Amino acid sequence: MKNLKFIYLAFILAMFTLVSCDNNDPIVDQENPNQSASARTSMSELKSHFNTNGQLRTDNNPTNNVLFDFCFDFQYPVTFTYNTGVNVTVNNFDALVDVLVAMTDSLYIDGIVFPFNVEVFDDATNTVIVQAVNNELEFITLIESCGFDDDDCVCTQEYVPVCVEVEDVNGEEFTVEYPNMCSAACDGFTQQDLTDCEDFTPGDDDNDCFEFNYPISITNSNGSTIVINGDDEWNNILFATNAYDFVYPFDVTLLEGNVVSTITSADDFETLLDTCYEDDPCDCPTVNDPVCILITTPNGDHIEEFDNMCEAECAGYTQNDVVDCNTSNDCVENFTITVGECIDETSYTVTFNFIANGYDGDFTLYTRNNVMLTTSSMSNLPLTLTMPLSGFDEDYIKVILDSTVPCDYEEEWFAPDCNTTLPCWDFVYPVSFNHNGSTITVNDRTSFDNDFDSNTDTLVYPFNVIINNVTSTINTPNGFFVIGEFDRMCE
């Protein structure tokens, strides 16, 4: 975590200063009761999300939402302390940005008045919750959970937007848009969390059929009215605003013809957006008569289903692209994933198995972002591979059969925790041992640790071990104890 060592060091030094004074010595410069290393850390981090003009940067704010691009949002008002000892109370996020921009190397926030409340995202419930911070230790815990220095999740700049729907502290639902699935997965969302990206995002470059005639106003979920004076303010305001409503009426200028139009209600605004987004005059019926289209990509073929032929034609396809929808249904069945042992801190073994309705040709496995893992044959199943850890809570695989069989299949599973130091030695599996008159054979270290009782069980010799990446054969108990007793192998 960013400055975590500094936080603990500052805390230790502060304690040392307090206890090292003689009781008869006067306290000349008592520590400011509001002083907080966490306040300075969080304000420095938050400042990095804005440029010197106080405008939100686009390079490190993929969602334009403070909860997901930063970590938390304060509930206002909140009082900070400058390094000069002067307190400043901020009543909203806009005022906080003014404080951030004014910070310099000689004038900065280094304290906060406890207690205060913050809003954080609870990924267990997909809701925004309020969390109380009563003291510096609780603030340290919050900062540590933010992971400001975690750079494990690196995504491309590809813009293929995906959206998730979450709930704010007042129960109002709002949509968060990510530039691509990788960015969403970095925050713990999966394909099952996605929703349609149909909500209007003010200031979007795609909304180019009209311009707002400023000033306009919105109300947030707390009932507060926010006045917006220009395009540059949209990003900053939305950064700390979740659910909101426009204050009607307001005027817009239609770019075609430079005509001013008054928007008097939500229905008027929806009609305006429908006009803007209607790039193609397709007006398809709502009838459900599915058709399937075979789509060819450099990473393989897949099938996309449309509600009807009109929808497919509006997307640019013809009857020549239509394939049997049943081809894509249940093309892969009984898909199983068996997670094995960690190889190191970046990979582990995993075994895949499935059937494909009589198909016996080749298939290709892809990880996230269509990175090819391997190509193999159905005859090689079950297939055990080395799986790279993606850095997400869930790892992902996609199966694409040979292009003559248009089919793909996706699956996710919880990734193992390989962030531990592997032992300096291990068995070469399988290994067997005698247990209550029976011989048990295990294929991994976890099974051995769970099943082997060192008080009653005996190993079956000979067997091989790997010691610091060197394989050796152990023929007798004496040979085994040469490399150290179980509990002291790695000392």
**How far apart are alpha carbons 211 and 202 in whole angstroms?**
10
Q: Is 319 exposed, middle or buried (0-12, 13-18, 19+ CB in 10 A)?
A: exposed
**Residue 384 has what pLDDT?**
93
Report phi then psi at 478, rounded to 5. -60, -40
What percent of the chain clears pLDDT 90, i.e. is strictly above it?
Answer: 14
Against a cut of 0.85, is the pTM above it? no
Q: Which of 265-279, 303-317, 444-458 has the highest mean pLDDT?
A: 444-458
Alpha-carbon distance of 18 to 463, in angstroms, equals 60
Q: How confident is the model at residue 74 (pLDDT cuts 50, 70, 90)?
A: very high
Residues contacting 231, CB < 8 A, separation 6+:
203, 212
Q: What is the phi/psi pair of residue 293, to 5°?
A: -120, 135
Lowest pLDDT segment from 86-90, 347-351, 443-447: 443-447
CA distance 409 to 324: 17
The DSSP result for 38-63, as a single string, is HHHHHHHHHHTTB-TTSPBPSSS-SS
The DSSP string of 71-96 is SEEEPSSEEEEETTS-EEEE-SHHHH
| Banded model confidence at residue 11, pLDDT cuts 50, 70, 90 | very low
Burial class (CB within 10 angstroms; exposed 0-12, middle 13-18, buried 19+) of 125 = exposed
Label the pairing between strands 216-220 and 244-246. antiparallel
Nearest residue to 356 via CA among 423, 291, 407, 287: 407
Pairing label, strands 244-246, 259-263:
unpaired
When mean pLDDT is compared across 20-34, 82-96, 240-254, the lowest value belongs to: 20-34
C-alpha distances (whole Å) from 439 to each of 447, 451, 458, 463 are: 14, 12, 10, 14
Helices (H) and strands (E) in the chain, counts: 11, 31
Of 203 and 217, more confident: 217
DSSP state of 313: H
Structure tokens at 105: 């190397």
Enumerate the domain spans of the chain.
4-150, 210-277, 291-327, 333-414, 425-488
Looking at the predicted structure, is the pLDDT value of residue 17 above 50?
A: no
DSSP class per residue in 381-432: -SEEEEEE--SSSEEEEEEEE-TTS--EEEEEEEPP---SPPPSEEE-SSEE
Model pLDDT, residue 157: 64
Q: What is the mean pLDDT of residues 304-310?
A: 78
What confidence tier does 245 reach under pLDDT thresholds 50, 70, 90?
A: confident
What are the pLDDT digits (tens) for 334-385?
889 999 988 887 889 999 999 887 778 888 888 876 788 888 999 999 999 9
What pLDDT is attached to residue 132? Answer: 94
Say how far apart CA 354 and CA 356 lie, in whole Å: 7
Cα–Cα distance measured from residue 401 to residue 249, given in angstroms and rounded to the nearest whole number: 55
Paired strand residues for 295 = 302
DSSP code of 298?
T
Residue 424 clears pLDDT 80, i.e. is over it: no
Identify whether the C-beta of residue 369 lies closer than 8 Å to the C-beta of residue 401: no
Q: Is 373 exposed, middle or buried (0-12, 13-18, 19+ CB in 10 A)?
A: middle
Mean residue pLDDT across the chain: 77
What number is the average pLDDT over the span 160-173?
82
Domain 333-414 grouped into CATH 2.60.40.10? yes
β 109-112/116-122 pair status: unpaired
**CA 178 – CA 185 distance, rounded (Å):** 10
